Structure 1
Amino acid sequence: MKLKLFCSTLLLAVAGIAAPASAKVEEIRLGYVDNIRDDHGEIVEGKHSGGNVEFEIVSSSPDFLNIIGSPRPYLMGSFATNDEGVNFGGFGVLWRWEFADGWALEPGFGYIIHDGEIDNPFADGTPEAASFEADNQLLGSEDLFRTTFALEREFGDRFAAQLYWQHMSHGQILDSGRNQGLDYVGLRFSYRLDPDPAD
């Protein structure tokens, strides 16, 4: 597991350093999300209360991504506002479709590593195990897929606001077993260094 986490961290670092020369930073984003504590479709009370502050950098789409619709790569970090939260960071790609003047939809897909709980360290059936599971979502893997969907409203050429949702889980692909996942909903604001974002 430690080797897997090390390799995942190394992959994140390489992705950030080895960004294609043809891509340039287009947007800087700052947001706040709250964990809706979704566990396989059911709201789980009392787990990971509190929100996260998120920072994201979005670049232009490099030419080699044209084959999948020219999504824009991003790097992001999410930082819990209290000790009960989960910190995570990662990278991925975002597609953007403007459907009306000043309005756009933005689906995305990525990969993150996190510091949340993976498995229950206590023996099944013990009071300690029940208490631990009542307080923690068991994510099953140190690295997770991140799926996002945002509704964007532009304010002029350089500013925008987004209402967005994100779901993180290993999907039984990165690992097997427990996979309660994390779901967050929030609001973020964007500043565009390039006033003409991808359509």
Structure 2
Amino acid sequence: MKERLLIVLTVLVIFSSIFGEGIASEGKGDSTIVSEIRFGLLSHDVGVFAQSFENGVDINFDIFFKSPDKSFFRKFSSPRPMMGTCIHSDGQTSQVYGGLAWDFRTTDNILLTFGLGGAVHSGELDSDDPGEQRLGSRVLFRLAMNVGYYFSERWNASFYWNHISNASLATPNYGLDSMGLQIGYVF
């Protein structure tokens, strides 16, 4: 438990230095590459598109970067590069991931985000125990979705779903779904 707490604190210190720079640069021009951060608590391995083997809570953190102002990215609706982590509270499968996120706002206050990318996890690849999560490959594909609400210009809250699996490129392919709530801050 102490090791997990140390990891979480280390990640928060690293990211707080990035965020501090972004906040400090506010009003002095637009020099930060970070566009948004989101923190969340997720129910772990809930079995939406996968079997459920592990219990517990994930501590979630995502960082979104500004979409590069390049014509290549604009051809694909200007996705934002992002990275994040889900750290399991009881030391079971945790993950670090990255990819692209597409944002859609149907009104001024409604938030829709779709993510696509890859993940690396700390869980079991294969096991003889039929009651244990098995993901088949250390590197997995990742899909994610947020549906939320902006309650001010900078703050939002959303329902978040995260799915990782190997897309049947390795066996077994049980996959892992996590879902819960996130709070976001836009720079």
TM-score (norm 2): 0.77
Pairs within 5 Å for 1:55-134: 55-62=61-68, 63=70, 64-83=72-91, 85-120=92-127, 129=128, 132-134=129-131
Instruction: Assess if the C-alpha contact under 8 Å between 2:50 and 2:174 holds in 1.
Output: no
Matched, 1:166 2:162: yes
Instruction: Assess if the C-alpha contact under 8 Å between 2:141 and 2:166 holds in 1.
Output: yes
Task: Name the structure 2 match of 1:49.
Answer: 55
Task: Name the structure 1 match of 2:182.
Answer: 188
Pairs aligned (count): 155
Counterpart residue identity of residue 159, structure 1: W
TM-score (norm 1): 0.73
Counterpart residue identity of residue 161, structure 2: W
Cα distance, 1:43 vs structure 2: 4.9
* Residues 35-94 of structure 1: CA deviation (Å, up to 9, x unaligned): 24428x4653xx2110110111101101241121100111101111113x2111021111
Task: Name the structure 2 match of 1:123.
Answer: none
Instruction: Assess if the C-alpha contact under 8 Å between 1:23 and 1:61 holds in 2.
Output: no
Task: Name the structure 1 match of 2:37.
Answer: 28
Alpha-carbon distance in structure 1 between the residues aligned to 2:97 and 2:32: 18
Counterpart residue identity of residue 105, structure 1: L
Instruction: Assess if the C-alpha contact under 8 Å between 2:67 and 2:78 holds in 1.
Output: yes
* Structure 2 unaligned spans of 5+: 1-30
Counterpart residue identity of residue 137, structure 2: S
Instruction: Assess if the C-alpha contact under 8 Å between 2:51 and 2:175 holds in 1.
Output: no
Task: Name the structure 2 match of 1:138.
Answer: 134
Structure-2 change in CA distance of 1:146 and 1:23 (3 Å)? farther
Instruction: Assess if the C-alpha contact under 8 Å between 1:114 and 1:143 holds in 2.
Output: yes
Structure-2 change in CA distance of 1:99 and 1:157 (3 Å)? same
Cα distance, 1:133 vs structure 2: 2.1
Give the alignment's Cα RMSD to 1 decimal. Answer: 1.8
